[in-house]
Structure 1
């Protein structure tokens, strides 16, 4: 009896690529070899992706899109303020990334040049900024304007820098269930929103103490 041929989809290629990287700890040498090893024609790959690098970027887009879908399923989400939405977003995203930590560590620590590693996050960066733009409230815009005339672009850029800080902390976190990352998320988000209210001192000091303590433990 003939074996039913597996239908190749975009998600299937992503799954195959992640498995390949994890099993071989290296990139495929070419699209041809990747397709051949996984039993499908090279042309099918190109019907979904232009390059292997675009598959890598897609993986991180999937993380963020699935995160947004999950948090928006919570009936209470719509009534959250921006701070609560950001906390929900970070907790859910890093929970998802923790479930795929071996892949994330492999790809984001691959090169000594960190900029090369971060190239995989260019599409994620775009999706992240779209999300931040959608949850910015009039109250947040007003608080920023009280401090200085900051445009929405600056709010999104500062949020992206915060995300990279949390990502770096998580990549180096060795605590059980990455509980220290959860603490860092809470403290960094709290500090950033208090900066908008021009009442940052207590939260900034609290965040600084936490980072100093973590640095000393690593040393």
Structure 2
């Protein structure tokens, strides 16, 4: 007769999201990046080889965090039954509002990681995956618009539009980082005005929106 094996609580499985959470918690609590993967894993009671199943380095993990911010935003808006009925302008607005809600929920981490180096370009290296995904999102929107146009001369460049959308996101992130308004209301206004501007530019009716947006930026800069 064999002895019955006593059940033991299952160890919580390590996945990408849990690893990201552990890393972000470390950053917020220690206010610095971990020294080595070994020490980080030891402190969190996980095996070093488990870390490497998901990321090859802390740099790769940081890029993965931004990609997860994007993916989470897309997952949220895709669950809305009204989203597919939106115009492309409305879809872009919805994405930006949702994305910045996620950034706001993680503001302490975002501010730390985008200011940790004295070299701004070094801080932006972690955004390479986000850049690829954001440009893909913008290209998808413009592709839908172009497919609806029968005259080739009216079709817009996906490359130019996607690059403009990325520059727009970079501007909005800097604006949001410097925003001291209650509940970041000024960022909400900047999102709406900038999205309207970029779509008006591509719809060949830019002047009124560009002037309106320029006045807003000047007012914010001088206030």
TM-score (norm 2): 0.90
Which residue pairs with 2:3 in the alignment?
none
Q: Does the C-alpha gap of structure 1 residues 150 and 83 become closer, same or farther in structure 2, counting only changes over 3 Å? A: closer
Q: Is the 8 A contact 1:144 1:196 kept in 2?
A: no
Render the CA deviation track for 1:46-81: whole Å, top value 9, x for unaligned.
122111111111111111001011111111111111
Alpha-carbon shift at residue 200 of structure 1 (Å): 1.3
- Taking the aligned partners of 1:28 and 1:76, their CA distance within structure 2 comes to 43
Taking the TM superposition and a 5 Å limit, the aligned residue runs for 1:35-184 are 35-136=41-142, 137-139=144-146, 145-146=153-154, 151-184=157-190
Larger radius of gyration between Structure 1 and Structure 2: 2
Which residue pairs with 1:197 in the alignment?
203
RMSD: 2.1
Uncovered stretches (5+) of structure 1, i.e. residues with no partner: none
Aligned residues: 215
Render the CA deviation track for 1:143-180: whole Å, top value 9, x for unaligned.
9955xx85311111111111111111111111111110
- Taking the aligned partners of 2:53 and 2:81, their CA distance within structure 1 comes to 37
Uncovered stretches (5+) of structure 2, i.e. residues with no partner: 1-5
- Taking the aligned partners of 1:157 and 1:119, their CA distance within structure 2 comes to 17
Q: Is the 8 A contact 2:77 2:94 kept in 1?
A: yes
Q: Does 1:30 align with 2:8?
A: no
Q: Is the 8 A contact 2:156 2:202 kept in 1?
A: no
Q: Is the 8 A contact 1:188 1:207 kept in 2?
A: yes
Q: Is the 8 A contact 1:129 1:156 kept in 2?
A: yes
TM-score (norm 1): 0.91
